[in-house]
Amino acid sequence: DFEWLLPPRARLRQLYLEALPRLVEHQAQQQSYNTALATTEQWLQAEPASEAAPKEAAMRYGRFQP
């Protein structure tokens, strides 16, 4: 059984979800708006119930450079 993997996996997922908004902010500060938007989309996929991710996506989409 692999139940022992559940707590470390949950912790890694939490770290990932905490890192995504910081990564988006860093990318935006570097004016990498396309990358920030792509990261925001990953965030939305990873955490669909997030309230912050759609707001971030809308803000980043306004700066999107096709």
Q: Convert the pLDDT of each residue in 27-61 to its tens digit.
A: 989 999 889 989 999 999 999 888 888 887 777 77
**Region for residue 31 given its phi and psi (left: phi exceeds 0; alpha: psi -120 to 50; beta: otherwise):** left
- Cα distances from 34 to residues 13, 20, 62, in angstroms, run 24, 15, 11
| CA dihedral for 33, 39, 44, 50, sign (positive or negative) | negative
Give the amino acid at 29: Q
Q: Within a 10 A sphere around the Cβ of 52, how many other Cβ atoms?
A: 13
Instruction: Give pLDDT, residue 59.
Output: 76
